Structure 1
């Protein structure tokens, strides 16, 4: 287990604990820095670090410099559980920030709740996490998986009946978020007359998609919905390209927002691919332009969703700390339940379970960039309803 940032300071924490008034304020987390989703975790870590550097340049939190203590869980649930138990019981960190994916947060959120620590997670919107009615859990995106299909399903519903896809293939990594989304898509699209002709779940460590791609080609769906988390999404597209199968419509979760996605699948081959968006560099929310400019200067590339989600989680945590004025975990959670927080992803407000009450955007690759195509008030382009063939 690798510690990215080792912190030797031991601080007094626990249930509604008061922290010492001197020394760094230590924020603990465990991230999948190695393993199958490491490519997504790296920009997520950068988002956290950029937030911490910005906070420290502005004087820190509660007059103390912020220090991140980061452990590596290698995308393993048991390791993540062990890491957060260590951070809380042995290292006694002052605050927590969340890990990535529904799979890991499903395992880790109960640990934070047991210690009654505020737990703001940057990703992992599966409803299963929030159905436990935890009081200290908050999701730092505009909406959970429950609302993820809304914009795309509405788009299909607005299409002339004759032009709608008639058949659907569902393929998703084994993860609570993608599995829930697949079920919602299937149900909502069936109500519009779209028949599911293929449905397959694969292991998170899958590295070959040839068999799946061939099976989907045989099923010949008009629409493919791919519940991916990282490089698995681009690997599926490459497998489609290899066998010459190009669906009329393709919707992928998560993978298309990776900065390396266009290069991996071929820039011209991104055209027409739909994806849900929790964050856009083009959004005019307060602080977003400064974040985009500063992050780009520091890391040489504009922030993607993973970096932005981490930064947003940091914004939520900082808002609670500043509002309460001391490290009372219960008071910070209560404040978030009763107040909205302006972030680079928009104003976030939560219900009693920590579910945010907003909506995700629908993005689509057009001319090499992801444009917002729904909802209409936020749109920067009109949707293209038929994906071109691979080039």
Structure 2
């Protein structure tokens, strides 16, 4: 999933940052040399405003680790994962990765959650010449720095995220397309880029912008934003949401008794457990989002992942769960193929090879950017359905217009 604005909680407020150590006990029988456990380090915002999204991601990491050790670990050694809580603070995430590298002596790294955090965290990894596979964080600026050790474990980045929805609007007869749109967005390196692309592409299709504003990541009251949108009366709302802010805006729009004909939100609607609880299941009806993963996709290991995750956690996996699991798959594939922990060899192998994952085959360019397609999803009858691309559809119909709030 995607990243955030320029402000965060003061580092001092996180002085008691939690360190969570997962130690798997299986003894590996692989081809590597014997020795102590291989240490993997990661940081996640397990507290703070996006905890509802990052906790499922953490569960995805834990499931991957458990299965990895059950299968013999890496290089004949068991694998440990140490996760530090960064509270969604940029200073803290930098401190955490420095600690994981210099003090904890991590052999390998896995990325954190959001573009806001992966932007500085990946710089720490690059400076230390360590492979950095990130499960979320598709902001374009992350991949324009010429990094050699950075790899994104989703099918595509922020620039491509709008494509499926824009194509849907383009497919409509001209007189059925929305005439006006509102573009509220969290100030975030991922959503900033995504919403800008949405606005430009939809403008080309004749959709006039009647509202476009950014809000702070710390925003919890969306009443004034919703009031301004309601006064503008857009046919379409395209919301650059990150986590709970998606539900926050929906509830504020309900207070205004304003419901657009079409509504798209990044990220938030894919939180399939917390989002419908927050807004009310009936109020999810017709809302669009884009995801990297489908639980029904026919990729190797995907059905097994869904079954195992649900059994372990008592709930179905989210997009964030799958992306974290995928990052683990990418790291695992590289280590097993190379047969060592040599960071240069691992990065070189990933630049030259395709990895089969539960989000599909991933192959990267020199920037660490994969070349794949995102999925367009829509809430229908209380279910998270997929409406594009054609080969990933779970339903044949698209709800348009969206019904009013219940």
TM-score with structure 1 setting the length: 0.95
Alpha-carbon distance between aligned partners in 2 of 1:197 and 1:138, rounded to the nearest angstrom: 37
Q: Deviations over 1:300-350 (max 9, x none)?
A: 011001111100000000000000001010101010011000001111111
Alpha-carbon distance between aligned partners in 2 of 1:212 and 1:300, rounded to the nearest angstrom: 36
Alpha-carbon distance between aligned partners in 1 of 2:394 and 2:21, rounded to the nearest angstrom: 43
Alpha-carbon distance between aligned partners in 1 of 2:113 and 2:231, rounded to the nearest angstrom: 34
| Residue 325 of structure 1 pairs with residue 339 of structure 2 | yes
Alpha-carbon distance between aligned partners in 2 of 1:211 and 1:76, rounded to the nearest angstrom: 26
Report deviation, 1:3.
3.6
Alpha-carbon distance between aligned partners in 2 of 1:6 and 1:141, rounded to the nearest angstrom: 26
Of 343, 360, 367, 2:357 maps to 343
Alpha-carbon distance between aligned partners in 2 of 1:263 and 1:85, rounded to the nearest angstrom: 37
For residues 230-245 of structure 1, what are the structure 2 equivalents within 5 Å? Answer: 230-245=243-258
Number of aligned positions between the proteins:
381
Report deviation, 1:4.
3.2
Q: Deviations over 1:124-182 (max 9, x none)?
A: 10110001121110000011001000000000011010010011100111110000001
Whether the 8 Å CA contact 1:7–1:26 is kept in 2: the answer is no
Of 42, 52, 71, 2:65 maps to 52
After superposition, the Cα gap between the structure-2 partners of 1:126 and 1:189, relative to the gap in structure 1 and judged at 3 Å, is: same
For residues 197-346 of structure 1, what are the structure 2 equivalents within 5 Å? Answer: 197-258=210-271, 259-346=273-360
Give the structure 2 partner of residue 86 of structure 1: 99
Whether the 8 Å CA contact 2:52–2:274 is kept in 1: the answer is no
Report the secondary structure of 2:133's partner residue.
Answer: strand
Whether the 8 Å CA contact 1:3–1:69 is kept in 2: the answer is no
Whether the 8 Å CA contact 1:28–1:87 is kept in 2: the answer is yes
Of 333, 347, 372, 1:358 maps to 372
Report the secondary structure of 1:5's partner residue.
Answer: strand
After superposition, the Cα gap between the structure-2 partners of 1:145 and 1:191, relative to the gap in structure 1 and judged at 3 Å, is: same
Report deviation, 1:20.
7.6
Whether the 8 Å CA contact 2:33–2:75 is kept in 1: the answer is no
Give the structure 2 partner of residue 37 of structure 1: 50
Structure 1's consecutive aligned runs of 4 or more residues displaced over 2 angstroms after TM superposition are 1-8
TM-score with structure 2 setting the length: 0.92
Q: Deviations over 1:187-216 (max 9, x none)?
A: 101100111110111111111000000000
Which runs of no fewer than 5 residues in structure 1 stay unpaired?
9-18
RMSD: 1.3
Q: Deviations over 1:47-87 (max 9, x none)?
A: 00110001011111111111111111110001101111111
Give the structure 1 partner of residue 133 of structure 2: 120
